Structure 1
Amino acid sequence: MRRVVTENQQSIEENLEKINIKSKKNNNLKKSKLKKILKNNTVFIAFLLPAIFIYTFFYIAPVFKSFYLSFVKWNGIPAISKEFVGLQNFINIFKDPAFYNALKNVAVFIGVSFLIIMPFAYLLALMVSSKYIKGKRFFKTVYFLPSILPSAATGLMWTLILYKSGGALNTLLMKIGLGMAQQDWLGNPKIAIFTVALVNAWVFIGYNMIIFIAGLTNISDDLIEAAKIDGADGFKEQIHIVLPLMKESFKIFSVLSIVGSFKVFDIIYVMTGGGPGGATDVPVTLLYDQAFKYNNFGYGSSIGMLILIASIICTLILNRVFKEKEYA
């Protein structure tokens, strides 16, 4: 019995030693893995720090600076002290008829985005994604090209095309016998904003086409084939299969279009400068004029804050709407 007990004790001790050795090895392995992860994270952080610094310095810091300036009256000269005025800048904005005119013009850009850019971009995406179209890369490049051209070059090109006298469009209308349709496309206050919005649509149709192409390529071919077997072909396929699966692409388009409409500036500044008589002013052109023409940096910063708040609110609403649709 003593021998059995001693042998059992020895085996137990040996097993305990083995377990201890294994646990030590596992601990050592975990420590080595942690060291590797920390080393990798150190490398990642080292590469990310310059980007984080640049983003903070050029994007985050100016937002806080603008937020502070929106509550003061200041002409931009460092030697001049800033006068705290509280919410007076925001009150003045909502009393200014030019601000409501600018919001109306933003609504025009949003309307053109959903009525022209979205359908044309989606149709182009369907066309270049079709199996029966040859030269897809060529068409994708041609349609996408306007969105990568410099805004100044695009604005100047269309300004020359749309000149009242000697412009390419009016000259063409005259030559084909439609002289009565000639217009002062950028000088007429009633149509100038629509002209610029259509030029903006020409620029961004190709860009949004790429967004819709990405959504279409994510739809499984097997699903489409199964739908065709069940009788969903052509229009029915689009309505019942493709469009419901494109919700994420339409959400991205909606957010970019609405936020982009609030931030539009360059194409307007190059083509009309906000004229004639403020007919094409948008919030950002008002911001530019107040800050850099009239040296009213506090008022301009308050406009910038309203643009930021409006963009955030619209983004949150759109995310909520699309989430509710997905849940339903």
Structure 2
Amino acid sequence: MLSTIKPSKKTIFLYLLVPVALFVFTVFVPLITALFYSFFDWKGGPVKTFSGISNYAQLFHDGTFWTAFGHNIYLVVICIIGQVGIAFVLVMMVNSKLVKFKTIHRTFGFFPSTIAAVCIGLIWNMIYHNQYGIINWFLKAIGRPDLCQVWLNNSKWVMLYVSIPLIWQYIGYYMVIILSAVSSIDTEIFESAEIDGANGFQKALYITLPLIKNTMLVCITLCVAGNMKAFDNIYVMTKGGPGTASMVMAMYGYQVSFSQTNMGYGSCISVAIFVLSLLVIGGSQGLIKRLTREKEA
């Protein structure tokens, strides 16, 4: 027989004390420390000189940082379409009556999400390689060696090329989240729609999507947050090159802090990444909610 005795507030507090302490130590302490050091001219040693807001003034006029910010916005837009959008389409396909072995599709779809980002970067770096990469091998195999190129050295399209691994890796992650929301919808709603003559596209657009809009908002928020701090995959593939064509904010902060040994300015960049990420996340949520309200009206 299950006990109906509720734990006291003191017991609940003791259970939560360790995880909350770990969360504060790993999240808030580094953030406050970065904010503190951002007001200093500090090279990482014991000596640091208070410089006020000079680091922030420098950041405001730093073209490389704002170029990197633009690249992060590009990643956010293309990954919302590629990760969340494709995940939704795949969920509709997997959830249909025509698809067999649904469990296998779900498992293989989620599998790339379990691989470390560094490994993903190495795999796709080999795929894009100009000498032994599978893309150039395929082009040669079909008789089009003239189309072969050093893919990651193309400054015009390199951001698209580094976005593809990010999209591929996390489609399954969002697929699982959306699938759990779709599975909670009463099947009688779809059966009624089928009786009324609705096709698969109409059911997805006018029934499924409105009913899981809150889940989709969560997915978009996670997608925005993840791509505003993108680092691992791109660092392994291009290190921000050629030049700064694939530089993102986290990578620029890393280079300033550790390659240039400018910890004060690197801390300033970290604070800016945090603030800009909050603004982009808040702006995207507000825009989606506004569009949803207008559509319902």
Length-normalised TM-score, structure 1: 0.83
Q: What code does the residue aligned with 2:195 have?
A: I
Is 1:52 the counterpart of 2:17? The answer is no
**Does the CA contact (< 8 Å) of 1:110 and 1:261 recur in 2?**
yes
Unaligned runs of 5+ in 1: 1-32
1:189 matched to 2:167? The reply is no
Structure-to-structure mapping, 1:104-183, within 5 angstroms: 104-183=70-149
**What root-mean-square deviation, in Å, do the aligned CA atoms of Structure 1 and Structure 2 show?**
1.9
CA offset digits 1:263-298 (Å, max 9, x no partner): 000001111111121211100001001111111111
Cα distance, 1:249 vs. partner? 2.3
Structure 1 residues 101-140: Cα deviation after superposition (integer angstroms, max 9, x where no partner): 2122112212321332233211111122223322111111
Alignment match of 1:284 (pick from 250, 263, 270)? 250
Equivalences for residues 258-297 of structure 1 within 5 A: 258-297=224-263
Which whole-Å CA distance do the structure 2 matches of 1:74 and 1:101 have between them?
Answer: 24
Matched, 1:216 2:195: no
- CA contact 1:66–1:304 (8 Å) conserved in 2: yes
In 1, Cα distance between equivalents of 2:31 and 2:274 = 9
How far 1:322 sits from its partner (Å)?
Answer: 4.0
Q: Does 1:319 align with 2:285?
A: yes
Task: Give the match for residue 265 of structure 2.
Answer: 299
Tell me by how many angstroms 1:40 deviates.
3.7
Q: 1:233 to 1:169 in 2, by over 3 A?
A: closer
Shift of 1:145: 0.9
Deviation at 1:200, TM superposition (A): 1.1
Q: Secondary structure at the match of 1:206?
A: helix
5+ unaligned residues in a row in structure 2: which ranges?
Answer: none
Flag the structure with more relative contact order, 1 or 2, with Cα contacts below 8 A and sequence separation at least 6: 2
1:27-106 → structure 2 map (5 Å cutoff):
37=6, 39-77=7-45, 79-80=46-47, 82-106=48-72
- Residues 212 and 249, structure 1, Cα contact 8 Å, conserved in 2: yes
How far apart are residue 255 of structure 1 and its match? 1.1
Change (3 A) 1:131 1:41: farther
Q: Write out per-residue CA displacement over residues 291-319 of structure 1, whole angstroms, 9 at most, x where no aligned residue.
A: 11111111111111111112212222333
Distance 2:134 2:197 in 1: 49
Structure 1 residue 146, shift from structure 2 partner: 0.9
Counterpart residue type for residue 208 of structure 1: Y
- How far 1:67 moved relative to its partner? 1.1
Percent identity reads 31
Distance (Å, rounded) in 1 between the aligned partners of 2:112 and 2:244? 27
Larger CA Rg, structure 1 vs 2: 1
User: For residues 60 and 88 of structure 2, what CA distance do their matches in structure 1 show?
Assistant: 37
Q: CA deviation at 1:88?
A: 1.4
Partner-residue secondary structure (3-state), 1:86: coil
Amino acid aligned to 2:20: I
> Are the aligned partners of 2:80 and 2:224 in contact in 1 as well (CA < 8 Å)?
no
Measured in 2, the distance between the counterparts of 1:181 and 1:96 equals: 37
Q: Distance in 2 between matches of 1:226 and 1:219?
A: 13
SS in 2 for 1:83: strand
Which stretch shifts more, 44-53 or 279-288? 44-53
1:85 and 1:323 map into 2 onto residues whose CA distance is 41
2: CA distance, partners of 1:106 / 1:319: 17
Where does 1:243-258 land on structure 2 (aligned, <5 Å)?
A: 243-258=209-224
8 A Cα contact 1:247 1:322, kept in partner: no
- Report the TM-score when normalising by structure 2: 0.91
Q: For residues 235-246 of structure 1, what are the structure 2 equivalents within 5 Å?
A: 235-246=201-212
2-side partners of 1:197 and 1:236: how far apart?
Answer: 30
Measure how far apart 1:46 and its partner are: 2.1
Q: What is the number of equivalent residue pairs in this alignment?
A: 291
Q: Is the 8 A contact 2:72 2:248 kept in 1?
A: yes
Pair 318,90 (structure 1): closer, same or farther in 2 beyond 3 Å? same
Pair 113,211 (structure 1): closer, same or farther in 2 beyond 3 Å: same
- The answer (yes or no) to whether the contact 2:84–2:171 under 8 Å persists in 1 is yes
